[in-house]
Amino acid sequence: MDPGSPEGGVVLDRIVGPALPAAERARLADDVETFTDRRVERYWQLIGVLNGRPPFPPSVPAFEWFAAALRARG
């Protein structure tokens, strides 16, 4: 779903609460974006392959959606 849609707003409110101030949402979006990097996740996936571990599902898209939703509602 689109992070800026009404449905996206409902999901975001369930995660952070509707009373979170806009400035705090922007700060949280900045923090999430700082530690969300597809290249880093891919690196750890490849390390797992080299070490014979089963692949793990990607989590970066969820955090990218979360940051976009925070910005859309900020």
pLDDT digits (tens, 9 = 90+) for 7-29: 999 999 999 999 999 999 999 99
Which residues, other chains included, contact 16 with Cβ-Cβ below 8 Å and sequence gap of 6+? Answer: 25, 28, 70
Any idea where the domains of the chain sit in the sequence?
6-73
Q: How confident is the model at residue 74 (pLDDT cuts 50, 70, 90)?
A: confident
Other Cβ atoms closer than 10 A to 51: 7
For residues 55 and 48, the answer to whether their CB atoms sit within 8 Å is yes
pTM over 0.95: no
